[in-house]
Structure 1
């Protein structure tokens, strides 16, 4: 299952917990103060389509 998930990810690797933490840290920071009503996908590109062949 893990290998299939990685193969379906355009970045070609699994995400790291720290990468998700960085996204959350950004969202609670002042740098994101003008961002409203958005969904931030931290998924290595899986939400935009299949990995290249």
Structure 2
């Protein structure tokens, strides 16, 4: 394994570990891998709801 690949994998693992427990799943009927393009109204509504409590 190259040093570059090892560095990428280490950073990816660390990022995943830092974000663990913070994700939320929103099922979207009739949407596939690009739900933000296939169902933008549903995705935008869920994002606005998710961000409504954010004070940043």
User: Which of the two has higher C-alpha Rg?
Assistant: 2
Larger relative CO (CA 8 A, sep 6+): 1 or 2? 1
TM-score under structure 2 length normalisation? 0.27
The alignment's TM-score, normalised by the length of structure 1, stands at 0.28
Structure with more of its chain in helix, by fraction: 2
